[in-house]
Each structure stands twice: as C-alpha cells, then as structure tokens.
Structure 1
Amino acid sequence: MTQADDRILETLTDSGLTLSPRVLSVNTDYSRHYLSTRLGKLADAGLVDRVDEGLYRITDHGHAYLEGDLLASDLEKEE
C-alpha cells in the first residue's frame, strides 16, 4: 500500500461516486497512468471494484482498510 492508495480510497469515499483515473487525477497530485496502475492493484486486493471499463468504486474492504479494521499486512496474506 502506498500513500497514493490511501488518497485514492479517501477520494472515492469522500465523493461517494464511481470515478475514473482521469477524474481522480484531476482531484489528486498523481498522473492518470499512475492511478490506473494503482487502481489495478487495489482491485486485485479487493479494495475497489472495477464497475465498467475505467470506472472504479470503493468496496466494503476498502472502507474497512480506511477505518483501520483491515491492515495492509492482512491484504498481503490474502494475495
């Protein structure tokens, strides 16, 4: 997990919306390409869902991670 991952999850949570890497890029200091890569990793970890091509939303696991109920070390064990 990176600082960008936390920022992505926080932005998805705060907005309550399904967002694209482009929209996330406008609202964070990260490039669209980098965010696309990180979103893929977050989807693999079950923290975000890819709901359509290039559109993502946070999952219950993502919310649990932000709330401290799910640790990054727990995610590594699941992989």
Structure 2
Amino acid sequence: MTPPQGNGFTQGMRVLVQPEGFDLVSGKYYIALLASTGETTLKQYVRDSGIGYLKPLNPDFKMIVIDDDVQIIGRVVDIKYPNSFL
C-alpha cells in the first residue's frame, strides 16, 4: 500500500490499532469495514464541507464517502517497522 510518491504503509509493517474509544479526526488513519464487499481497508479520514471521506494513499483510487456501508473499526495509533527495514 505504498503510493507512487513513496509515502505510506508498506507490506510487512505492523499497524497498531485502537479498536474503541476514539474520535474521528481529519488527517488521521483508520481501519474501516465496507459492509457491501466485506473488505477491510486502511485509509486517511478527511472531512470536507461537513462530509466524512476515507482517502486512499494512492491518488489513482477514489475517496470513499462515509455512509451506512462504512463501519470505522479502529484508529491507527502507531506503526512498527520489521527489523529488516532498519
């Protein structure tokens, strides 16, 4: 999940998630479940004109409007690099 510009989460990273007791904060990363597909995804939450979106790191993909199909299941609180990255 590394975008062309090189920022992001790469395969093998450990993503630490807070599963409850969090607020949605624009610019932070969240894990979401898309009910219609059963897909779980990691995206950045953004709020624009009162509407919440999940923004992919890769600009080739579209933003997802947060609606009844989207369940936010956790907030990313930290990432850990595998020893092989160090």
What's the TM-score once normalised by structure 1's chain length? 0.26
Q: Which structure exhibits the higher relative contact order, with contacts defined as CA atoms closer than 8 Å and separated by 6 or more residues?
A: 2
In proportion to residue count, which structure has more helix? 1
In proportion to residue count, which structure has more strand? 2
Larger radius of gyration: 2
